[in-house]
A and B are shown apart, each in its own frame.
Chain A
Amino acid sequence: AQSVTQLDSQVPVFEEAPVELRCNYSSSVSVYLFWYVQYPNQGLQLLLKYLSGSTLVESINGFEAEFNKSQTSFHLRKPSVHISDTAEYFCAVMKGGSEKLVFGKGTKLTVNP
């Protein structure tokens, strides 16, 4: 069965600092990878996805993630965070041919002034 590991449960950073949220997944022949963001008392919003093609994917609000097949990783990065980025971030994997998502346990990002 697929599994996703987010090693950091909480990441506190100062505003305008860079941040990396780590995500590793168990290996499979083909996978699709996602990052979702969840603001307090809200549902999950898709932040970015890797389906195929370029291994570097970007979101409209400055986040990016790189699919690294050899290291089975899909780390999320932002060069300069804002207070509004404070939220919980979930990495998720979908095995090719499946309609099921498997989520990591989430990382709470807190951006302090």
Chain B
Amino acid sequence: DAMVIQNPRYQVTQFGKPVTLSCSQTLNHNVMYWYQQKSSQAPKLLFHYYDKDFNNEADTPDNFQSRRPNTSFCFLDIRSPGLGDAAMYLCATSRDLSSGDKNIQYFGAGTRLSVL
């Protein structure tokens, strides 16, 4: 059974049209992450939530925002998608650092975003 679920799997949007990607988890993990992965590149961390605390990476563009209304759900909002934002977006979760499994991250299947 999927434990980190991303919807939709494929998303097509128009240049400049806001888009929201969603992630839900059944693991009750404290930490949720959003990564961007462009073709043939490593996943790049955009930001993460430690419970309700939002942690933005220094080089994440302002165009990318996130919301975490509760433990189970986290959203990635792209306010004005550009052609360069076409990528796979991966959501991941982990327990906090005090847990025995040392913060292993569990990934969803990803959402592939196309920008026309």
Closest to A108 in B: B40
Closest to B57 in A: A100
Surface stretch bound by A, among B14-22, B63-71, B77-85, B101-109: B101-109
Interface members, chain A 7-44 (any B CB < 8 Å): 9, 32, 34, 36, 41-44
Question: Which chain B residues lie closer than 8 Å to A104 at the CB level?
Answer: 42
- Once the chains bind, are B110 and A49 in contact (CB under 8 Å)? no
Task: Please give the distance in Å from B78's CB to the nearest CB on chain A.
Answer: 19
Interface members, chain B 22-55 (any A CB < 8 Å): 31, 40-43, 45, 48, 50
A interface, by DSSP: helix, strand, loop or mixed? loop
In the complex, A101 has a CB within 8 A of chain B:
yes
Number of interface residues of A (CB under 8 A): 22
- Once the chains bind, are B102 and A51 in contact (CB under 8 Å)? yes
Known contacts A103-B42, A104-B42, A42 near B110 by CB under 8 Å: yes
Question: Which chain B residues lie closer than 8 Å to A43 at the CB level?
Answer: 4, 6, 90, 107-110
Task: Please give the distance in Å from A90's CB to the nearest CB on chain B.
Answer: 6
Q: Which residues of A contact B (CB under 8 A)?
A: 9, 32, 34, 36, 41-46, 49, 51, 90, 94, 97, 99-101, 103-106
Q: Which residues of B contact A (CB under 8 A)?
A: 4, 6, 31, 40-43, 45, 48, 50, 90, 92, 94, 96-97, 102-110, 112
18 sampled A-B residue pairs with Cβ under 8 A: A32-B103, A34-B104, A41-B110, A42-B109, A43-B108, A43-B110, A44-B92, A46-B106, A51-B102, A90-B42, A90-B43, A97-B97, A99-B31, A99-B48, A99-B94, A99-B96, A101-B105, A103-B42
